[in-house]
Structure 1
């Protein structure tokens, strides 16, 4: 078994991808196997929110307060890049293409898929290939969870209020872990193993909500949407992150772009976006089913292709002398320099 696990570990993002794939296989070919109830169903099928919440607590506890500012800046850059390319892509199809579609792809599906990223996959990949500031950016990137940004992009003004509390509740576990880790070294040490321990269980539960059947029929074109999400979201995020490094005057070896590539995915919760929007705007109800299938296909496609982009970029950076560790060391050295200035008080 150990030899087999070592073999699987060679797959980019294996800790997330392999359990997610297994969950999808079970959901497709033996869905009743996870419906037997009690702890089995709770852990392997319906426990996704709890597992992800606990995962974020553990991740937050490992973020050093000295990396907080770079993490927030990265998060803002990535959020704007991903949302911007989603809006441009979706509205371009809506207004410039015949019938407002592109090869059957709906603007609703395009914006929902391209603007919403898989937070668990992002943190799993930045944990493997990135640094603390990369992981810490998830506290800002959590804003793109759910249908809220899609509603704004579709011009649904006046149809719904922006639920600030829902956004806060999405990032609070990370904030809670951040507070624990920065006020108690014992808590940070205790929670550290949870970063990797929880990932495969959360991934399997996410996969258990995906049926490979959505790749057939009207949702099949969603595979193209997934590839476009990886290419365009990843490209825009990497480009904007590179510009941010230049504007901040970071030396070339510290211009780490892993976080940009790791943001090029579609979150599983984006599958519910078309239905949520159709409830607010009934005029979209006729296309809800097709849009849902397309987004679901994009979720599967990005989950299995985006990690290879991240792995390739990590290899390219290494060959060119660019290192996430060098970037992290730069932030730490600057923080120490500031704290040693006359008159500076950390209290």
Structure 2
């Protein structure tokens, strides 16, 4: 009897810990790991060599690689859909950012629960294109993935300055615009002309997304989260749960799935440059620039965590049934 029990115990498979799957976990888990490292032992990221270069200065290169991989899977036939999706998502996002920011400026003396027009417009008008690319690579179709080329126009402080009436003082160079879209276009050309290249590049998307998630996390810190305080958390929640649903509703009305609207309800880390840039051309904002910076930094973390999860929920709740019925 004892020998039979021993044999049974030996044959029983050992239980292994399984990491719970959540929407967007390909990016979220590496991002959390990078966030914790940068918060509690940032010196590890300065060790040097390839590791430091990858975590501190290589995010843009990985984004370019992801765009190349994504582009390889996009057919030329979907190009009109790319433009339509980008415009449909971009318009309500910018209109709402302007409406909320100017409403706070004129109706609340530029202070709504600690938030100013600078932090609201400078935050909500931005889209974390790296995060959008990662989310849509997992949940989006060809048109939704390629729309990142249109969403690029939210980059930089120009949009905020124009909305606040300081137009013409900070323009995005044409070369920067072209260079940001070029990897996507090159991928499309190669993928459409050479099927074997498409088969080679497309599988690289998910590994690159995981690397990008870690890099984004390494650029964040819980210190910034605390500094931004409740008002920064509020800005993040407004971006996700106010701007997101409005953009979602508009996109659905225009025939879209709504997933790009939720995926772009994020704030890019580069949005933190807006308050300082604005203060240089409009000195009256100099006093609130540091506060707006901290608030945006906090909102970056909030939106980076919530957007992938909510996009996955939208995909499951609204889109799977539609896909099955087609």
Q: TM-score, normalised by structure 2?
A: 0.89
Unaligned segments of structure 2, at least 5 residues: 1-14
Q: Distance in 1 between matches of 2:306 and 2:49?
A: 34
Unaligned segments of structure 1, at least 5 residues: 246-254, 327-347
Partner in structure 2 of residue 11 of structure 1? 22
Q: Distance in 2 between matches of 1:262 and 1:30?
A: 30
Q: 1:62 aligns with which of 73, 84, 90?
A: 73
Partner in structure 2 of residue 169 of structure 1? 179
Aligned-residue CA RMSD in angstroms? 2.0
Larger Rg: 2
For this pair of structures, how many residues does the alignment match? 312
Report which stretch shifted further, 126-135 or 24-33.
126-135
Q: How far apart are residue 276 of structure 1 and its match?
A: 2.5
- The answer as to whether partners of 1:44 and 1:208 remain within 8 angstroms in 2 is yes
Partner in structure 2 of residue 198 of structure 1? 208
- The answer as to whether partners of 2:257 and 2:319 remain within 8 angstroms in 1 is no
Partner in structure 2 of residue 323 of structure 1? 323
- The answer as to whether partners of 1:131 and 1:325 remain within 8 angstroms in 2 is no
Q: How far apart are residue 213 of structure 1 and its match?
A: 0.9
- The answer as to whether partners of 1:159 and 1:280 remain within 8 angstroms in 2 is yes
Matched position secondary structure for 2:267: coil
The answer as to 2:143 corresponding to 1:133 is yes
When residues 257 and 230 of structure 1 are mapped into structure 2, their CA distance, relative to the original with a 3 A threshold, is same
- The answer as to whether partners of 1:58 and 1:194 remain within 8 angstroms in 2 is yes
Q: Distance in 2 between matches of 1:155 and 1:139?
A: 26
Q: Distance in 2 between matches of 1:226 and 1:3?
A: 36
Q: Distance in 2 between matches of 1:172 and 1:148?
A: 21
The answer as to 2:196 corresponding to 1:186 is yes
Q: Distance in 2 between matches of 1:140 and 1:60?
A: 14
Matched position secondary structure for 1:100: coil
Partner in structure 2 of residue 119 of structure 1? 129
Q: Distance in 1 between matches of 2:157 and 2:117?
A: 14
Q: How far apart are residue 219 of structure 1 and its match?
A: 4.0
- The answer as to whether partners of 1:258 and 1:313 remain within 8 angstroms in 2 is yes
